[in-house]
């Protein structure tokens, strides 16, 4: 069954609708040029009892059906949180860049990192840019997230892409860990940076932004989550109906 995603390609030529079938998806971590930045992210996870990956960078294959561009979805735990990332997409034999959120169940992450990401969606902002148009000023691009409830949000993450491996380095290192595909559509989530407060936040509204100050364009996307346990169980601490 096809996993069709509707996107808008914003380029120097204008905007164009694109519907693609996604075949493979990976979440990557520890992609910071300065290892100390990743260490700070690990520290804020350790506060929640989460032990980081043994292999750096981790390359985690996820079911492509967890990818979404929706602005709302349900989760099972009230200990879920988003994290802004840049996304590299190989679509119809071309490379694109976008912004996303690797939404994660932090309770489950204490025991299994991959499953904690598989049970929640990978959120992709539905606008993407041709990678070729931003490569010469990749480091200047701003990546941000906000968190909160409803319209009351506050700054959560602030960085530029200069913090991360550039696309060539990312692809060079990741390609050694995955099969070589011809004609398939696949994408990589880049990993993330520490929060402003260096503390994870579990509020239900999450917003992401990627700002290109050189070409004067912005990708924005917000989503909200609903916790199913809060609707279905009398006592959210038990798993019995």
DSSP secondary structure string, 161-183?
A: GGGBPPHHHHHHHHGGGS---SS
Q: What is the pLDDT of residue 53?
A: 78
- Taking a C-beta distance cutoff of 8 angstroms, is the pair 219, 209 a contact? yes
Tokens of 62: 């996820």
What share of the chain in percent tops pLDDT 70?
A: 95
| 7 and 87 Cβ atoms separated by less than 8 Å | no
Contacts of 175 (CB under 8 A, 6+ apart): none
Weakest mean pLDDT among 28-32, 68-72, 121-125: 28-32
Per CATH, is 4-232 categorized as 3.90.850.10?
Answer: yes
Contacts 24+ apart (CB under 8 A), 158-163: 158/196, 159/193, 161/86, 162/33, 162/138, 163/32, 163/33, 163/34, 163/37, 163/193
Sign of CA dihedral 80, 228, 114, 189: negative
- Total count of residues recorded for the chain: 241
Residues forming a β-bridge with 67: 122
Q: How confident is the model at residue 219 (pLDDT cuts 50, 70, 90)?
A: very high
Element (DSSP H or E) covering residue 25: strand 24-28
For 178, phi and psi rounded to 5 degrees? -130, 160
Residues 6+ apart with CB under 8 A from 168: none
pTM confidence score: 0.92
Query: What's the chain's average pLDDT?
Result: 92
Q: Give the pLDDT mean for 154-170.
A: 96
Buried b (16+ CB within 10 A) or exposed e, 126-164: bbbbbbebbeeebeebebbbbbbeeeebeebbbbbbebb
40, pLDDT greater than 90 = no
Q: Residue 181: which pLDDT band, with cuts at 50, 70 and 90?
A: confident
Residue 67 pLDDT more than 90? Answer: yes
């Amino acid at each position: 069954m096809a996993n069709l995603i509707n996107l808008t390609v914003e380029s120097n030529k204008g905007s164009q609708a694109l519907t693609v079938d996604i075949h493979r998806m990976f979440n990557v971590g520890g992609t910071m040029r300065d290892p100390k930045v990743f260490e700070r992210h690990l520290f804020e996870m350790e506060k929640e009892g989460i032990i980081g990956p043994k292999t750096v960078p981790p390359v985690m294959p996820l079911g492509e059906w967890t990818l979404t561009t929706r602005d709302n979805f349900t989760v099972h735990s009230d200990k879920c949180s988003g994290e802004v990332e840049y996304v590299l997409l190989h679509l119809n034999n071309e490379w694109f860049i976008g912004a996303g959120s690797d939404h994660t169940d932090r309770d489950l992450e204490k025991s299994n990192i991959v499953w904690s990401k598989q049970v929640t969606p990978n959120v992709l902002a539905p606008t993407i840019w041709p990678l070729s148009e931003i490569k010469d000023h990749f480091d200047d691009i701003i990546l941000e997230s906000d968190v909160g409830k409803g319209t009351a949000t506050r700054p959560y993450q602030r960085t530029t892409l200069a913090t991360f491996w550039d696309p060539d380095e990312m692809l060079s290192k990741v390609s050694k860990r995955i099969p070589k595909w011809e004609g398939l559509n696949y994408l990589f989530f880049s990993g993330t940076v520490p929060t402003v407060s260096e503390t994870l936040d579990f509020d239900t509204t999450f917003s992401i932004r990627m700002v290109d100050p050189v070409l004067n364009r912005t990708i924005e996307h917000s989503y909200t989550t609903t916790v199913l346990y809060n609707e279905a169980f009398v006592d959210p601490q038990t798993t019995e109906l």
